[in-house]
């Protein structure tokens, strides 16, 4: 694997202010890793190909028991090592403390990027001096080939590609923020000890401080994660949905964006109505007919999603997507109820 090339500066005379802005904008790439394995190796390979466009590469080894930190050091990255895991929030903050770049570009250890990723990032910040932060998207060719990984990562791609460019949150897997804005709001909340909603929480504080966050759909990375049933449900419910619900109640950020679109909320209601119809159909056959109507409504409401999968992976794959998509609404609703109860119980106990 090639090592990171040394940063070389040109004596080129720039012809306009845009080129000058690009030349002076410095980017610190920050990557937290915990036992990154083969995915992290591929991540480093991709980073080595864009190193000349970066001011520095900072890897935070968050208590790995494999050779992740050693591998990054051998390739020329600046490595910070923690003796025991403390979560990506702490790791990213530590990387930001030593970073010298104007822009802090955070990526996960299981994504790869390209020269185009960095070029589009530089262009976005150079052309918009009032832009404080930017988030990107997964691309449409996930690294893992199994159905669940393809479905989940493509669905993530679809969600970002169809959302408003004026974002209301941040994303740690592919997110960049001006260093001054990052520290003005205090960085990531280190009370999140596991990969969770620490990036979303940072985004809410950035917005509350008046910062502008853009979703740039052209800034894309490839996600390599191999999702399995247990790992997916655990991450979606316990690490994302439940803590995100508590965060929504804390900040009252029920915006019509990303996973919180009105169509998704209506789909959630219809999913639970369908469950009721299926259960009640054992006693009242009329509910089976109602359930058919509800199913049709769910299909029509989410037709753009299924059309996307049909174009990308064909009809058989799309048929497999539909039950998983409806299950997504089901456990999302369940997680919302649990998170709501936890939030209000905590604050009631706190008051008393």
- Report d(CA 85, CA 343) in Å as an integer: 26
Cα 94 to chain centroid, rounded: 20
CATH topology of domain 17-227: Spore Coat Polysaccharide Biosynthesis Protein SpsA; Chain A (3.90.550)
The per-residue pLDDT for 347 is: 73
- Report d(CA 117, CA 115) in Å as an integer: 5
CA triplet 305, 217, 200: central angle to 5 degrees? 85
CA triplet 62, 146, 224: central angle to 5 degrees? 30
- Report d(CA 255, CA 248) in Å as an integer: 9
- Report d(CA 88, CA 175) in Å as an integer: 14
- Report d(CA 259, CA 251) in Å as an integer: 16
Torsion of CA 161, 218, 94, 83, to 10 degrees: 70
The per-residue pLDDT for 250 is: 87
The pTM (predicted TM-score) of the whole model is 0.89
**DSSP-based three-state secondary structure for 139:** coil
Closest CA to 66 of 111, 30, 108, 34: 34
* Residue 252 backbone zone (phi > 0: left; psi -120 to 50: alpha; other: beta): left
Query: 213-223 and 174-178: which strand pairing?
Result: unpaired
- Report d(CA 244, CA 168) in Å as an integer: 14
- Report d(CA 151, CA 139) in Å as an integer: 13
**Each residue's pLDDT expressed in tens, for the chain with a length of 352 residues:** 444 444 332 332 223 334 444 458 999 999 999 999 999 999 999 999 999 999 999 999 999 999 999 999 998 999 999 999 999 999 999 999 999 999 999 999 999 999 999 999 999 999 999 999 999 999 999 999 999 999 999 999 999 999 999 998 999 999 999 999 999 999 999 999 999 999 999 999 999 999 999 999 999 999 999 999 999 999 999 999 999 999 988 887 666 555 567 888 899 999 999 999 989 978 888 888 999 999 999 999 999 999 999 999 999 999 999 999 999 999 999 999 999 999 988 777 766 5
The per-residue pLDDT for 284 is: 84
């Amino acid at each position: 694997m090639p090592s990171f090339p040394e940063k070389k500066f040109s004596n080129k005379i720039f012809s306009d202010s845009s080129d000058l802005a690009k030349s002076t904008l410095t980017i610190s790439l920050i990557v937290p890793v915990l036992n990154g394995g083969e995915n992290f190796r591929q991540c480093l390979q991709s980073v080595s190909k864009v190193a000349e466009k970066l001011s520095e590469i900072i890897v935070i080894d968050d208590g790995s028991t494999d050779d992740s930190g050693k591998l990054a050091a051998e390739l020329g990255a600046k490595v910070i090592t923690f003796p025991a895991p403390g979560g990506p929030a702490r790791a990213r903050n530590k990387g930001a403390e030593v970073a010298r770049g104007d822009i802090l570009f955070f990526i996960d250890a299981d994504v790869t990027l390209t020269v185009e990723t960095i070029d589009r990032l530089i262009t976005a910040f150079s052309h918009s001096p009032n832009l404080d932060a930017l988030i990107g998207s997964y691309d449409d060719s996930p690294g893992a080939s199994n159905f669940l990984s393809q479905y989940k990562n493509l669905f993530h791609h679809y969600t970002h590609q169809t959302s408003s460019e004026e974002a209301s949150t941040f994303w740690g897997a592919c997110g960049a923020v001006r260093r001054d804005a990052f520290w003005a709001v205090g960085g990531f909340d280190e009370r999140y000890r596991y990969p969770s909603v620490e990036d979303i929480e940072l985004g809410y504080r950035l917005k509350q401080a008046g910062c502008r966050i853009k979703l740039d759909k052209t800034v894309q990375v490839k996600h390599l994660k191999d999702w399995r049933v247990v790992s997916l449900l655990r991450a979606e419910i316990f690490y994302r949905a439940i803590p995100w619900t508590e965060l929504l109640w804390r900040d009252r950020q029920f915006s019509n964006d990303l996973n919180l679109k009105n169509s998704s909320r209506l789909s959630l209601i219809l999913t639970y109505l369908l469950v009721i119809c299926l259960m009640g159909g054992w006693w009242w056959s009329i509910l089976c007919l109602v359930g058919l109507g509800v199913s049709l409504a769910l299909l029509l409401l989410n037709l753009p999603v299924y059309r996307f999968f049909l174009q990308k992976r064909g009809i058989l794959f799309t048929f497999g997507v539909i039950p998983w998509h409806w299950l997504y609404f089901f456990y999302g609703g369940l997680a919302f109820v649990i998170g709501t109860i936890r939030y209000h119980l905590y604050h009631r106990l706190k008051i008393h």
